[in-house]
Amino acid sequence: MKNKKSIIVSLILLVLVSAVYRILPRPSTLYGFAPQIAMTLFGGAIFVKDKKWAFALPIISMFIGDLLFQFLYSKGLSIMPGFYEGQWQNYLLFAGLTVIGFFIKKINVLNVLIGALASPTVYFLVSNFIVWAGGGGLNRPRTFAGLMQCYNDGLPFYPGSVIGTLFFSTVLFGGYYLVKKNSVQHQAA
């Protein structure tokens, strides 16, 4: 029963963060400011015993958010679609980032901070490599210089990704801590 409650609380937190992110305007100076990387870190750290939920919850939450965004796009309320070509690669990469959360053996500020810095860095390196290798974006040449150009193209998104991951990790881990603490106090009373 306790595990089911954790799954439900976590899914609600993930869906709320994803939905709020999609609805609220974001600062244009923070390209890449998004909750998805923090969501994968959170899933991996919280669900170490039931790894299927660690992978599933962030992906389900992202999918629900993308469905909402696609609906808004289809109604002319958004200029960005929820679904796009090559999106499966992003979902696969986000699922892979969940593994970083597995390394958070003890949830504390330092471990979450390390994970929140490592995750967007891995995402930046791997996603830009995929874009370069797949010929996407600006079609950079398949040389080392072309790869460096591709990383340079993605550089404006990296700081916002780090800041977003730090912010949303604070929201998710902090919210989970508060809900868990409140639940324990409620049971003791």
Ranges of each domain in the chain: 2-188
Would you give the end-to-end CA distance of the chain in angstroms?
19
The more confidently predicted of residues 58 and 112 is 112
Range 75-98 burial, b when 16+ CB lie within 10 A, else e: eeeeeeebeeeeeeebeebbbebb
pTM for the predicted model, two decimal places: 0.81
Mean pLDDT for the stretch of residues 101-106: 93
Backbone conformation region of residue 86, classed left if phi is above 0, alpha if psi is from -120 to 50, else beta: left
User: Which of 102-106, 114-118, 184-188 has the largest mean confidence?
Assistant: 114-118
Check: CATH 1.10.20 for 2-188? Answer: no
What letter represents residue 42's amino acid?
Answer: F
Backbone conformation region of residue 5, classed left if phi is above 0, alpha if psi is from -120 to 50, else beta: alpha
Q: pLDDT band for position 181 (50/70/90)?
A: confident
Q: pLDDT band for position 66 (50/70/90)?
A: confident
Q: Residue 23: is its pLDDT beyond 60?
A: no
Average of per-residue pLDDT values in the chain: 83
What letter represents residue 184's amino acid?
Answer: V
